[in-house]
Amino acid sequence: MKVLFFMPDNPLKKNAGNRTRALSMLSYFKSRNFEIDFVSEYYTGRWDETDIIAFEQSGLADNTYVIKKKPSKKNILYYLLFYKLPNFFYQNKAWFFPLQFPELVTLRFKRAFKKILKKNDYDYIYINYASWAKLVEDNPFVKKSIKVIDTHDFITAQLQNKNNIGQSFKEEIRRISLFDVALAISVEEQYIFSQFCKNKVVLAPMMLDKPENLHAVKEKSLDLIYVASDNIHNQRAANWFFKDVYPLLPGNIQICVIGQINEHLSIKAPNIISVNFAEDLSTYYQNAKVALCPMLTGTGTKIKVVEALSYGLPIVCNTRGIDGLINKTNNGCLVSDDPVAFRNNIMKLLTDESEYQNQAENALTAFSMNYERERCYRNLDTVFEIV
């Protein structure tokens, strides 16, 4: 079978959950011997020639197309007349056509996408994000392909402070309904989309391998591990934790902060280890006792929570931290939105061995039952009709 897989970002840049998600889906298709044509957008994915070569050599796809959604500005007249002006109206951004929903497909990009479809027949067309759904809308070259959208997130909830909620939600549902199958990463999103969309809405949670050499490290050097990218939700969360919780903790607790969130932290202390990027997180997870996920806003499953569960790490988080999890209780997470209670949950895990072991076992069980790769693969087999 053959699949056209569109993802605007570069999945090999594993510094955000959405890229990890796309990478896991590409790995699934590869494991089931699909022929894969991969399509991405040059500027959105921040690709360069080195990135493209690395992806082509990764073996994740049989053919790779990295397309630019806009031409060069070297010829400014051509840029304005043949890209900027036509695209202004195509994307519905004129003041008399307020869309209230992000439109990322440019006229130039859709034409290039059509050319790929015209030359090939696909069993499946797989699109990441509702904001790119117009790639298949009114597209005659889709032919008989089964259209699949990986929603990743509930976009209306993400943009509720910017857009008219009613109009945004209506447009999001309309776009998801353009597809034959919608994949929801969380139980909450599956419920919402299945209530309003007439197509098939399937729960496809984040899937990861069970780590090798689990519990290989006996003497752990890190008390707490906090993994976060630099989006606005993580910035708010980190600010809350280091302003309201961190001062309540003993000064000898070793905290490792990993990810681009470090660029937004002004706090410096001997017990805080900052790692802006880690190619492989396994060493850090293996050396940590407890994972942190202080999320105050945002929607969808937190990939870092699933990663921590896979290592059998108990997690201390806010209510938003367990969003998307299939099991809301007995899952290895201690939950509180109060700074003092949050601090107490951390100390309970670091000082009470019995409580720690109980939560570690819950974490591993929750992962094995819901997110372990092969178990998830078997569920996807029913979606993609693999016997």
CA-based torsion, 6, 7, 8, 12: positive or negative: negative
State yes or no: pLDDT of 48 exceeds 80: yes
Domain boundaries, position 170 = 2-207+374-383
The span from the CA of 154 to the CA of 190, in Å, is: 10
The span from the CA of 131 to the CA of 298, in Å, is: 17
Q: What is the pLDDT of residue 92?
A: 60
Would you say 315 and 332 are in contact if contact means Cβ atoms under 8 Å apart? yes
Token pair for 57:
């050599």
The span from the CA of 55 to the CA of 69, in Å, is: 19
Query: Which of residues 172 and 103 earns the better pLDDT score?
Result: 172
Q: Could you give the number of structural domains in the chain?
A: 2
Q: What is the pLDDT of residue 333?
A: 94
Q: What is the mean pLDDT of residues 143-161?
A: 87
In a domain, 95, yes or no: yes
Express each pLDDT in 99-118 by its tens digit. 678 888 888 899 899 999 99
Residue 87: pLDDT band with limits 50, 70, 90 = low
State yes or no: pLDDT of 17 exceeds 80: no
Q: What is the pLDDT of residue 159?
A: 77
The span from the CA of 149 to the CA of 129, in Å, is: 7
The verdict on 187 and 231 lying in the same domain is no
In a domain, 214, yes or no: no
In a domain, 89, yes or no: yes
The verdict on 244 and 161 lying in the same domain is no
The verdict on 40 and 183 lying in the same domain is yes
Q: What is the mean pLDDT of residues 113-140?
A: 94
In a domain, 215, yes or no: no
Estimate the crossing angle of helix 353-370 against helix 339-351, to 10 degrees: 100
Q: What is the pLDDT of residue 315?
A: 96
pTM: 0.81
Residue 172: pLDDT band with limits 50, 70, 90 = very high
Q: What is the pLDDT of residue 86?
A: 64
The verdict on 17 and 156 lying in the same domain is yes
The verdict on 379 and 362 lying in the same domain is no
Q: What is the pLDDT of residue 106?
A: 87
Residue 74, burial from CB neighbour count under 10 angstroms (0-12, 13-18, 19+): exposed
The verdict on 238 and 251 lying in the same domain is yes
The verdict on 179 and 145 lying in the same domain is yes
3-state class (DSSP) for residue 241: helix
Mean per-residue pLDDT of the chain: 88
Q: Which residues pair with 202 in a beta bridge?
A: 183
In a domain, 237, yes or no: yes
Q: What is the pLDDT of residue 241?
A: 94
Task: Indicate the DSSP class of residue 133.
Answer: G
Token pair for 216:
């290989």
Q: What is the pLDDT of residue 72?
A: 66
Q: What is the mean pLDDT of residues 54-63?
A: 94
The verdict on 366 and 378 lying in the same domain is no
Q: What is the pLDDT of residue 248?
A: 96
Query: Which of residues 29 and 187 earns the better pLDDT score?
Result: 29
The verdict on 48 and 101 lying in the same domain is yes
State yes or no: pLDDT of 230 exceeds 90: no
The verdict on 34 and 124 lying in the same domain is yes
Q: What is the pLDDT of residue 104?
A: 86
State yes or no: pLDDT of 149 exceeds 90: yes
The span from the CA of 159 to the CA of 154, in Å, is: 9
Q: What is the mean pLDDT of residues 49-78?
A: 85
Q: What is the pLDDT of residue 71?
A: 63
Which amino acid is present at 282?
S
Query: Which of residues 207 and 81 earns the better pLDDT score?
Result: 207
In a domain, 328, yes or no: yes
The verdict on 317 and 355 lying in the same domain is yes
Express each pLDDT in 218-228 by its tens digit. 788 899 999 98
In a domain, 258, yes or no: yes
The verdict on 272 and 200 lying in the same domain is no
In a domain, 18, yes or no: yes
Residue 140, burial from CB neighbour count under 10 angstroms (0-12, 13-18, 19+): exposed
Q: What is the CATH number of the domain that holds 145?
A: 3.40.50.2000
Q: What percent of the chain has pLDDT over 70?
A: 91
